Structure 1
Amino acid sequence: MTTFLKKKYIRTTNIQFMRLLLIPLILLFYNNTNAQCKIYRLSDRGDTLNCIDMNNKKQGKWKIHVDELRGEPGFEEEGEYKDNLKEGKWRRYSLMGDLIAIENYRWGNKDGEQEYFYNGSLEHTESWKAIDPQKKFDTIFVQDLNDEYKVDKKIIKVNAYAVKDGIWKYYRPGANTLIRTETYNYDVLVKPQTVKLNNNNPITDTTTNPLLKDSLPTSNPNTKKPKEILQFEKKHKNNSKIKVRDGSTGN
């Protein structure tokens, strides 16, 4: 046998040996993973799903199917559990396969932005804050109603472990047009103000909404008029034939 053929034979033998060595290692890892699950099922790709460990806690990737019941539509959702609590990103679908919601969890509670869809379009978003269940008190920051740059720190007792916190947005169905917002500060709704856009469609905004406050028209009745206009109005206040143009339209 030539030197070239000998080297080729040795290289081929080594590759086959490595493959044979990897097979039991993969099987060992796979068996150890499943050995932690008292109950589980396998996906079409061989992934371990719906694991219940020896302590009867849900772990890892889960796919859940809920049938329609008493008029309530069914759905399917997928995400991960950690020690029986939802963790990270979860997706929910209708039984027809349409995306219904994308939710984020921490410690089993909603945390951060949540998105909800209707007929394939974004319907509204929510903003939540999850609180560590081990905490009995939490520190929050409260904005001064009279001074937007002043913030007070306040320690409160924890009564719920998921609170509305941040901006909630509502959209026109099928158009992705923002029609309303709500701002929450630790489960407290900041009183909304109704304003009008250029097309005169009403929209609800809050005093702390950074998305719209710079783009919406505002009027301040306390704004001082120029001195010349004040003198003109004083001089002709009893003359009904003179009209002062103030920028308004219509009769």
Structure 2
Amino acid sequence: MKRLFISILCAGLAVSASAQDVNKTDAKKRKQGPWVEQVESIRGEPGYSWEGVYKNDRKEGVWKKYTINGDLMAEETFLQGALQGLCKYYYPNGKISATGQMIAIDLEGQKDTVVTIDPVSGEESLMEVVRKGNSVRQGEWRLYDEDGNMVRETYERGELSSSAQVNRPRNTAPLPHEAGAAGKKKKGKD
């Protein structure tokens, strides 16, 4: 029955998607308007689909992320391609796992000029660097275990307050945007 419902839902989405202007680009080849993206599974990570709106090739507004089976995984708010605003994350059973605000500390496309030094000649030159969007948690976050028990954490520009670290539930999984960074070390820290 569930497969039949998912098949009907997918067929309905396909029909409604073809009726709308979905996955369109403008004359400059920038993504514009409603968009549906499929991300295939890779290196053991399951695939998923995204749906939301692009404005000038950047995610804008609320984007929803679904499993391959069509179950809602996340609702994230974007501003100029970076997470900015309310985000909600869900367990596979549909219960909410976390909710809170993200704040963009770097917007995609911002440019910096840095001085580079040639290691051979010692000559200095200016180089322009284009930033990628970067966001951190801000304010109160509510984390739920699968039984519905809630813990509150407070963040200030991505830094967890010391009192909140003690109360975090042990079985709380990393949020989807943290999963890729879990194995990475931050530069300059041991």
Q: What TM bracket, shorter-length normalisation?
A: 0.5 to 0.7
Residue 184 (structure 1) shift: 0.9
Summarize deviations over 1:71-105 as a string: whole Å, max 9, x none.
11011110000011000001111111111111111
Given the two structures, how large is their TM-score scaled by the length of structure 1?
0.47
Corresponding position: 1:123 with 2:97: yes
* 1:163 positional shift: 2.6
Aligned: 1:184 with 2:155: yes
The corresponding residue for 1:11 is none
Verify the 8 A CA contact 2:106 2:132 in the aligned structure 1: no
Higher mean displacement: 72-81 or 186-195: 186-195
Q: Distance in 2 between matches of 1:112 and 1:172?
A: 23
Structure 1's unaligned 5+ residue stretches are 1-41, 137-157, 196-202, 205-251
Match of 1:112 among 85, 98, 120: 85
8 A Cα contact 1:51 1:62, kept in partner: yes
> In 2, are the aligned partners of 1:78 and 1:91 still within 8 Å (CA)?
yes
Q: Helix, strand or coil for the counterpart of 2:22?
A: strand
Query: Whose Rg is larger?
Result: 1
**Does the C-alpha gap of structure 1 residues 135 and 166 become closer, same or farther in structure 2, counting only changes over 3 Å?**
farther
Q: Indicate the larger mover: 186-195 or 91-100.
A: 186-195
Equivalent position SS for 2:76: strand
For these two proteins, the number of residue pairs brought into alignment is 134
- The superposition leaves residues 189-246 of structure 1 with CA deviations (integer Å, 9 ceiling, x where unpaired) of 2111588xxxxxxx45xxxxxxxxxxxxxxxxxxxxxxxxxxxxxxxxxxxxxxxxxx
Per the TM alignment, residue 67 of structure 1 is displaced from its structure 2 partner at its CA by 2.0
TM-aligned CA distance change 1:86 to 1:181, over 3 Å = same
For structure 2, which runs of at least 5 residues remain unmatched after alignment? 1-12, 113-130, 169-190
Q: Aligned equivalents of 2:134 and 2:41: distance in 1? A: 29
Q: Which secondary structure does the structure 2 equivalent of 1:176 belong to?
A: coil
CA contact (8 A) 1:103 1:114 kept: yes
Q: Following superposition, which runs of at least 4 residues in structure 1 exceed 4 angstroms of deviation? A: 158-161
Sequence identity of aligned pairs in percent?
36
CA contact (8 A) 2:88 2:100 kept: yes
Q: What are the within-5 Å matches in structure 2 for residues 133-172 of structure 1? A: 133=107, 161-172=134-145
**CA shift for structure 1 position 65:** 1.1
Tell me by how many angstroms 1:111 deviates: 1.1
Tell me, yes or no, if the aligned pair for 1:43 and 1:49 is still in contact at 8 Å. Answer: no
Q: Contact 1:66 / 1:74 at 8 angstroms: preserved in 2?
A: yes
Distance 1:121 1:89 in 2: 19
- Return the letter of the residue paired with 1:113: L
Normalising by structure 2, report the TM-score: 0.61
Residues 153 and 165, structure 2, Cα contact 8 Å, conserved in 1: no
Task: Measure the CA separation in 2 of the matches of 1:135 and 1:114.
Answer: 27
> What is the rounded CA distance, in whole Å, between the counterparts of 1:61 and 1:122 in structure 2?
25
